[in-house]
Amino acid sequence: MFEGKSFLVTGGTGSFGNKVLKRLLNLGVSKVAVLSRDEKKQYDMRASVRDSRVKFLIGDVRDRRSVDDAMRGVDFVFHAAALKQVPICENFPLQAANTNIFGASNVLRSASEHGVQRVIVLSTDKAVYPINAMGLSKAMMEKLMVAEAMRNRDLGLDTITSGTRYGNVIASRGSVVPLFINQIKNGQEITITDPTMTRFLMSLEEAVDLVIKSFCDAESGDIHVHKSPAATVATIAKALQKLIGAEKPIRIIGVRPGEKFHETLVSSEEMAVAQDIGKFYRVPLNGEVVNHEPVPYTSANTDRLTVDQVCDIFENTKEVKDLL
């Protein structure tokens, strides 16, 4: 499915884009087009990759023309372009809608019209029972993906649209791990919203594994979810203090607007039809009820990590090791 094929990665200069690019090149693809609007990140990425199969395209998913230009001759699409930080989306909800909803619509419709074989959209746990602008916009992106799947089926089009959903990616930009490491190293107190707040933890490698899994096994309109352990914010802070060897005072700053105490990866309604496939759940477009007493899959009821377990994960996560 990869050998000699061409891929488009929207938002390809982000954390996920950099990681999946290396995976795709190792799988023998013929071309990877990276679409993003940040020329500085493209410059840095071009200097580090140095592979003639990688094509860099300046453009914005909000602009249908630049999306159409990028889509020509493409076999498969990974749609990663998004506004992802909860506080920013809370302050600028219309910007979140323009990128996460209307931008996704441009990508999905353009892919169908250009005969792309498969489109995988990347979503988030915050899209389940959403309470913030980022989650709401991502939930709408998922609905657009499902609607496009049904439209393509009705029109007899071959483009498969599918989605993935995952929780916090360890050490991604804007996450608590880089923040806590910076505060500890600079001798500052650690700022925690609430020590009992829980978050799913997964590595960038696992995020790429999930997208590749969805890509290989996708049926139109379904969503793949990676089963992930979780930890409290306090546990994450204690693990980083232990790894760095410096204890700093913790200051509780309170929950920020739009934040949940616990995140949900699969709703109870989805768990009624979800298929358990080892490390993953698959939520099909039209699934039969397999669980008559469904319980949502949340960061409060998944495997809970200890400080030592979080330390082990961080010590085996390249992005955290680089920061440390």
Query: What are the tens digits of pLDDT across the range 222-275?
Result: 999 999 999 999 999 999 999 999 888 999 999 888 889 999 999 999 999 999
Which domains occur in the chain, in start order?
6-167+203-226 (3.40.50.720)
Exposed e or buried b per residue across 276-299, where buried means at least 16 C-beta atoms within 10 angstroms of its C-beta: eeeebbbbebeeeeeeeebebbbb
What would the pLDDT profile of 148-192 be if each residue is shown by its tens digit?
A: 999 999 999 999 999 999 888 998 877 889 999 999 999 999 999
More confident residue, 319 or 303: 303
Task: Give dist(CA 274, CA 281) in Å, integer.
Answer: 6
Supply the pLDDT for residue 172. Answer: 81
Mean pLDDT for the chain overall: 94
- Spatial distance between the Cα atoms of 213 and 82, rounded to a whole number of angstroms: 21
Q: Which residues contact 203 (CB under 8 A, 6 or more apart)?
A: 169, 170, 313, 317, 319
Higher pLDDT, 257 or 66: 66
Predicted TM-score of the model (pTM): 0.94
Asked if residues 310 and 228 have their Cβ atoms less than 8 Å apart, the reply is no
Q: What are the respective helix, strand and coil percentages of the chain, to the nearest 5?
A: 45, 20, 35
Tell me how far apart the alpha carbons of residues 120 and 13 are, in angstroms, rounded to a whole number.
17
**DSSP states of 15-68:** HHHHHHHHHHHHTT-SEEEEEES-HHHHHHHHHHH--TTEEEEE--TT-HHHHH
pLDDT confidence of residue 255? 87
pLDDT at residue 173 in the model? 74
Cβ–Cβ < 8 Å for 218, 152 = no
Q: What is the rounded average pLDDT of the residues 68-75?
A: 97
Q: CA 266 to CA 249: how far, in whole Å? A: 35
Share of the chain above pLDDT 70, in %: 100
Q: Over the stretch 125-155, which tens digit does the pLDDT of each residue have?
A: 999 999 999 999 999 999 999 999 999 999 9
Q: Mean pLDDT, to the nearest integer, of 24-30?
A: 95
The answer to whether 16 and 208 have CB atoms below 8 angstroms apart is yes
Our answer to whether residue 126 is catalytic in this structure is yes
Sheet holding 6-10, edge to edge: 54-58, 31-36, 6-10, 76-79, 118-124, 160-166, 223-226, 280-283, 275-277
- pLDDT of res. 79: 98
Tokens of 180: 């806590």
Residue 19 and residue 205 in contact, taking contact as beta carbons nearer than 8 Å: yes
**Six-digit token pair at 256?**
């920020």
Output 23 or 173, whichever has higher pLDDT: 23
- Annotated catalytic residue: which of 84, 126, 213, 260? 126
| CA 272 remoteness from chain centre | 24
Cα–Cα distance between 190 and 253 in angstroms, integer?
Answer: 10
Is residue 3 predicted with pLDDT exceeding 80?
Answer: yes
pLDDT on residue 1: 82
pLDDT of residue 90: 95
* DSSP class per residue in 72-97: TT-SEEEE------HHHHHH-HHHHH
pLDDT score for 148:
98
pLDDT for 75 equals 97
Smallest CA-to-CA distance from 258 within 81, 139, 138, 89 is with 89
The encoded tokens of residue 157 equal 């089009």
Q: What is the tens place of the pLDDT at every residue in 247-260?
A: 889 999 998 888 89
**113 pLDDT band (50/70/90 cuts)?**
very high
Interval 77-99: pLDDT, tens: 999 999 999 999 999 999 999 99
